């Protein structure tokens, strides 16, 4: 059993909880996820099963898309609705649509973020949330992230507090922190009151399945229909197609001559017909060769 399950993570579960539940349902230990979502967050959480776990490092750098609510007037310890209120300011006149759009434009492109204290980033060998639980606030180095697109979404209530945004961003972006900073630019303490991940690793909401659907598929003996093929998660990599003779060398993990064709990305995947064989890259020393990064041992395709 090898492939990607495009799970819709429900609220109230950690990403680790989701992996543990999938291991119980599928009775397989070799399972991992492609990017942590906090318990209060719902949305797309790809689960890699079997040989698909080998592609996780190649998925994490991809763009993410989120929908979030920015709540003005209250900041919290965790920068979301789960934390304790630390600062309040009454919002007598919510910002206008133009003021919100002007504020959002400031965050387009590369920006600096200071990670929240309630995060898993390590400083001096210790995770920040461990310091936070000890009521210790320490200096955190800022990091550069990229906001490819940020826009205001009009909801049915059309309220300007909270107001909803859609963000397309790079790996490592803290949407909680982004909401806080947007609030500051509007002159208010703020926090993120809602978050949903709508796309990650090329997988969208429309492709996701719930735990209930997975359990039903297992009951009906149709679990294979739930999986996406491993190569689905590698669509961003170039393809080098080989013949049967080279296929045997690839599966043995051998180095190969540098292909004459121009490859648009590195690393790249090697395929024989419709069969994914491996991920290769240019040899760092011998520039006339390519070497394996991951070789897939897929006896039964999902």
Q: Looking at the annotation, which residues are catalytic?
A: 38
Beta 268-272 vs 239-241: how paired, if at all? parallel
Give the residue from 260, 295, 253 showing the smallest Cα distance to 275.
295
Q: Are 189 and 74 within 8 A, CB to CB?
A: yes
Helix (H) or strand (E) holding 298: none
Beta strand extents in the chain (DSSP E only)? 3-9, 31-33, 42-49, 64-72, 74-76, 85-88, 109-113, 122-123, 126-127, 143-153, 163-169, 190-200, 203-204, 239-241, 256-257, 268-272, 275-282, 289-295
């Amino acid at each position: 059993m090898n492939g990607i399950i495009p799970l819709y993570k429900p609220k109230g579960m950690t990403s680790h909880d989701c992996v543990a539940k999938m291991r119980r349902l599928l009775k397989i230990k070799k399972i991992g996820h492609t990017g942590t979502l906090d318990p209060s967050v719902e949305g797309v959480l790809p689960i890699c099963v079997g040989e698909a776990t080998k592609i996780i490092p190649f998925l994490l750098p991809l763009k993410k898309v989120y929908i979030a609510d920015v709540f003005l007037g209250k900041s919290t310890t965790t920068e979301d609705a789960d934390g304790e209120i630390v600062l309040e300011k009454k919002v007598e006149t919510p910002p206008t649509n133009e003021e919100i759009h002007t504020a959002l434009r400031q965050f387009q492109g590369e920006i600096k973020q200071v990670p929240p204290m309630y995060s898993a980033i390590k400083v001096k060998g210790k995770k920040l949330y461990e310091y936070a639980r000890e009521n210790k606030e320490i200096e955190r180095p800022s990091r550069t992230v990229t906001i490819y697109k940020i826009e205001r979404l009009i909801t049915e209530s059309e309220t300007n507090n909270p107001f909803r945004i859609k963000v397309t961003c790079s790996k490592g972006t803290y949407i909680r922190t982004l909401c806080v900073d947007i609030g500051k630019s509007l002159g208010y303490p703020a926090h993120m009151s809602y978050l949903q991940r709508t796309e990650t690793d090329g997988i969208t909401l429309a492709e996701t399945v719930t735990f209930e659907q997975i359990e039903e598929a297992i009951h009906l003996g149709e679990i294979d229909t739930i999986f996406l093929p491993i190569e689905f998660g590698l669509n961003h990599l170039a393809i080098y197609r080989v013949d049967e003779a080279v296929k045997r060398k690839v599966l043995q993990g051998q180095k190969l001559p540098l292909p004459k064709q121009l490859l648009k990305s590195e690393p790249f995947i090697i395929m024989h017909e419709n069969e994914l064989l491996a991920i290769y890259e240019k040899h760092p020393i011998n520039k006339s060769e390519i070497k394996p990064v991951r070789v897939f041992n897929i006896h039964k395709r999902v």
